[in-house]
Amino acid sequence: MHAIVAGGTGLVGSALLQLLSTDARYRRVSALVRREVTLPPGVTAQPVDFDHLDYLTLTDVDVAFCCLGTTRKDAGSAAAFRRVDLDYVSAFARLARRAGAKRFLMVSSIGASTRSPFLYPRTKGESEAAVAALGFTSVVILRPSFLVGVRARGRSGETAALHISEWIRPVLIGPLAKYAPIEAVVVARALANAALDAREGVTIMESDRIPAAAR
């Protein structure tokens, strides 16, 4: 298969590229990048301007993975945050659909909902809805809680929340299990596995619903 990945330099995306690059079931793995970066051997870099993805032509894509995401603080404003987490995600999904992809897998966030009064989960929910409306045979949405891993740049707010959630992890059981921190590589592995056996329609996986095989 030919897989295309957006957001391959992030915490989950970089782990995903490592997995896909050694998977013999993929004859080609392409990563959309904004600048020159070091990618795993065998991964092809596709330089793009995310503000103009609708003008890019790609063909012969089987599966698309979207790991794009930022925060309001890193983006600088609410509008800039929505440009990445909604506009770029939607544009990438449209590109993948035009390129022939039947399966689309994306990293969203716990609490994602178009009805949320809060910017972050509402934007994530709108992004999910935009992708689901494009007509892919299969859409798999992962909604992880706090991600565990080493980022190129730390996020102070996320780090503080992670410390708190680690402290209360012992009580995060039953309905609360989805709020427990999860390793980025586990999310990446779940994406890679789901791409091979995704059911038709839209499948949503909270952190606690990620199959044991990915852990």
Euclidean distance between CA atoms 198 and 1, whole angstroms: 14
- In sequence order, which residues have a C-beta less than 8 Å from that of residue 109 and are 6 or more positions away? 69, 120, 121, 124, 143, 144
Residue type for position 91? A
Euclidean distance between CA atoms 194 and 138, whole angstroms: 10
Euclidean distance between CA atoms 149 and 182, whole angstroms: 9
Query: Of 26, 55, 102, 124, which one is the catalytic site residue?
Result: 124
Residue 25, Cβ density class (10 Å: 0-12 exposed, 13-18 middle, ≥19 buried):
exposed
SS (H, E, C) 176-209: HHHHCCEEHHHHHHHHHHHHHHCCCEEEEEEHHH
- Closest residue by Cα to residue 32 from 70, 89, 98: 89
Active-site residue 102, yes or no? no
Extract long-range pairs of 122-126: CB within 8 Å, 24+ residues apart. 123/81, 123/82, 123/85, 123/86, 124/85, 126/86
Query: Of 26, 88, 120, 179, which one is the catalytic site residue?
Result: 120
Active-site residue 124, yes or no? yes
Active-site residue set: 120, 124
